[in-house]
Amino acid sequence: MSRLVRVSAIGLALGLAVTALPISNIAKAKDNEYKLDYTFASKEAGKAQGTITFTSDVPGEYKVFWSDVNDNNLTKNGVEYTEISTLKVTQASKPEKIELKSSYYAIPENAKKLIVKNSDEEIVDTYEIPDNKIKKYGEKKYDFAVMSDVHYNRYPQESKALPSSADLSVKAFDEALKFNSEIGVNKLFLTGDLSNQGEIDAYNKYNTAIKKYPDMTVYTCMGNHDVSWTKNAVEMVNQFKANVNTKKNTDKKVVDIAGNNLDFVYNEGNDYFVILSQVRARYYKTATLLDDSQITWLNKIFNKYSDKNIYVFFHTYLANYNGDVKTAVGNLVNPAGYTYDLTYPYKAKDEVKFRELLNKYSNVTLFSGHSHWAYDQVKYNPYLMMGNVNAKSSGATLIHVPSLAAPRTIESDTKNRDENFGEKSEATVATRYDKTTVYTGIDYKLKKFMGYGVYEALDGKAVAKENAIKVGKSKISKVSKIKKTSKKSKKYQATVKIKKASNAVKYQVQYSTNSKFKKSKTKTITVNKLKFTIKKLKKKTKYFIRVRAVGYQFYEDIYTSWSGKKKFKTKK
């Protein structure tokens, strides 16, 4: 018996107001009754957030897929998508739901329908996506892949020295590179942790792998394991620099290399890719992951390309905007209370500056790994894979990248996580369009894109460029009131007046008994204090004095040259 079925409103989804769109979906079932509905949480084209509901009078296992107009499983770059979800119908006519909770969930390009298949791979029902929900993404520019936590020499963990043939990460990375090449993805960026403990052998394995694909651009930052606890951090940073990313020195698309010769910028069209390495691996508030010079450099890069699209690759994810680790992009807490809490230390001095930049520059997308969580773990945190640095979604987009070698999962009722090394292998492929980027999870074991791992992030608004400031020069206007500190004192004091300088935030006054200012003393005074007293001067002594103004921009002091010197002499 067959019958007509039609879409019904579902009401509320995920605690958000859900608008039931006035859409009908009429389909014929073969011998049984099925009903596939989709209620969207937004009227905006391309947004997949909402609830998919399936009802069957035949208990069993069913899978829901994205499909093209001809009811074929959807493909991308010639590769099929996996199912969106598997539904187990245990009771006839009882609705089963798939909740797509993230507001970043996207309908893949070229998807026209949903189809549901039974365990015999037969299509039992379809749902036609309304025309007003299908987004025209525009001209495709290119694809790039993002991976994380390859971890050569870490898996299996019980072995301390693994030959290449036994290292499961060798196989995982080789297979991923091969598959990317086959589907035409020739740009690859990694968010760190190539190694187990920064060993040269890990970097040799990595270089051996990427040399097989000379036409593929491959760059990575340092993670905490690459700058780990086995040696001095400076030694490990230098070791990394000497063995990884050496291509950057001759790559014409690398447009800026930081003074540390570690961080750099790769350019593709109007897009800029920033490789930013953490240089320490201690996760407590008084420690830092980045040097001050790195934050200063990053600030200048963000300002320079404030009207462009910027992708940043950095290893450690940030806590949520309110300091919560459990709800951060890149982390979760399961019902048993397990969480991975090695976040970038919230309110550490470098974290504060880094976060400030990410809040300011909405044109930035930050990729991080570190926690290893697999795509399907979004069931514990809807914003595990993608979110924003602040609650208003007005800052940088944050994206979590699973481990390539060991995407972690955890059972809902335990605190025992599964590393899945050798069993799972996941990453992200980004498709760059005119004004947006679509991110799709990829399963290298299945050699398929993930139907449940499609997200979209629009380019943020351009930020007004901040012109480099020019700090005016100051000078010593007058030295007066040269007298004893008190009647009984043997020390003298002098009052110094300086000229105000434009854009100065402070001044440095230097004085010495030597005309070349050897063995000098330097006093720093605030910008509002143009008159002050120097004390503890020796009697009957000639002094030389000068001043310079100090400005501040991009997290660094800007010093003018010293003024001309003045001289004065204390009395007997």
Query: Which residue type, as a one-letter code, is found at position 412?
Result: S
Say whether pLDDT at 8 is over 50. no
CA–CA separation, 427 and 449 (whole Å): 10
CA–CA separation, 130 and 135 (whole Å): 10
Query: Which residue type, as a one-letter code, is found at position 350?
Result: D
Which tokens in the block code for residue 371? 């926690």
Q: Please check whether residue 275 is in contact with residue 286, taking contact to mean a CB–CB distance below 8 angstroms.
A: no
Overall average pLDDT of the 412-425 stretch: 92
Nearest to 393 by CA among 364, 430, 356, 362: 362
pLDDT for 25: 38
Pairing state between β 386-388 and 142-147? unpaired
Which tokens in the block code for residue 439? 């991110």
pLDDT for 31: 56
Please enumerate in sequence order all residues whose Cβ is within 8 A of that of 85, keeping only pairs 6 or more positions apart, or say none: 52, 63, 64, 98, 451, 452
Pairing state between β 542-553 and 566-569? antiparallel
pLDDT digits (tens, 9 = 90+) for 302-358: 999 999 999 999 999 999 999 999 999 999 999 999 999 899 999 999 999 999 999
Which tokens in the block code for residue 327? 């709800």
Question: Residue 181 half-sphere exposure, CB side, CA atoms within 13 Å?
Answer: 16
Average per-residue pLDDT in the chain?
91
Overall average pLDDT of the 430-446 stretch: 96
CA–CA separation, 219 and 227 (whole Å): 17
Split at pLDDT 50, 70, 90, the class of 490 is: confident
User: Coil, helix or strand for 459?
Assistant: coil
pLDDT for 18: 33
pLDDT for 435: 86
Overall average pLDDT of the 526-552 stretch: 93
Alpha-carbon separation of residue 463 from 224, 432, 503, 556 (angstroms): 31, 20, 22, 20
Say whether pLDDT at 455 is over 60. yes
Phi, psi of 205 (to 5 degrees): -65, -40
CA–CA separation, 261 and 246 (whole Å): 10
Say whether pLDDT at 503 is over 60. yes
Sign (positive or negative) of CA dihedral 412, 416, 417, 419: negative
CA–CA separation, 389 and 554 (whole Å): 20
Please enumerate in sequence order all residues whose Cβ is within 8 A of that of 94, keeping only pairs 6 or more positions apart, or say none: 55
Percent of the chain with pLDDT over 90: 84
Query: Which residue type, as a one-letter code, is found at position 451?
Result: G
Sheet arrangement for strand 123-128: 85-89, 60-67, 113-117, 123-128
pLDDT digits (tens, 9 = 90+) for 81-109: 999 999 999 999 899 999 999 999 999 99
Alpha-carbon separation of residue 496 from 344, 473, 484, 487, 522 (angstroms): 46, 17, 15, 21, 13
Overall average pLDDT of the 212-228 stretch: 96
Return the number of other C-beta atoms located less than 10 Å from residue 567's C-beta.
Answer: 12
If phi > 0 it is left, if psi is from -120 to 50 it is alpha, else beta; for residue 125 that is beta
Overall average pLDDT of the 462-466 stretch: 89
pLDDT digits (tens, 9 = 90+) for 190-219: 999 999 999 999 999 999 999 999 999 999
Say whether pLDDT at 66 is over 60. yes
Overall average pLDDT of the 150-178 stretch: 78
How many residues are listed for the chain in this entry?
572
Return the number of other C-beta atoms located less than 10 Å from residue 393's C-beta.
Answer: 13
Which tokens in the block code for residue 477? 């206007």
What residues pair up with 365 in beta bridges, in sequence order? 311, 397
CA–CA separation, 457 and 435 (whole Å): 9
Which tokens in the block code for residue 484? 């004893």
Query: Which residue type, as a one-letter code, is found at position 347?
Result: K
User: DSSP labels for 178-215?
Assistant: HHHHHTT--EEEE-S--SSSS-HHHHHHHHHHHTT-TT
Nearest to 433 by CA among 144, 44, 146: 144
| DSSP tag of 483 | E
CA–CA separation, 447 and 450 (whole Å): 10
pLDDT for 20: 34
pTM of the model: 0.88
pLDDT for 156: 62
CA–CA separation, 277 and 223 (whole Å): 7
pLDDT for 360: 96
CA–CA separation, 372 and 191 (whole Å): 11
Say whether pLDDT at 162 is over 60. no
Query: Which has more pLDDT, 177 or 166?
Result: 177
What residues pair up with 61 in beta bridges, in sequence order? 88
Geometric angle at alpha carbon 85, from 13 and 4, rounded to 5°: 75
Could you check whether the bond before residue 108 is cis, i.e. omega within 30 degrees of 0?
A: no
pLDDT digits (tens, 9 = 90+) for 513-522: 999 999 999 9
pLDDT for 309: 96
Say whether pLDDT at 5 is over 70. no
Split at pLDDT 50, 70, 90, the class of 165 is: low
CA–CA separation, 423 and 168 (whole Å): 10
pLDDT for 115: 98
pLDDT digits (tens, 9 = 90+) for 351-393: 999 999 999 999 999 999 999 999 999 999 999 999 999 999 9
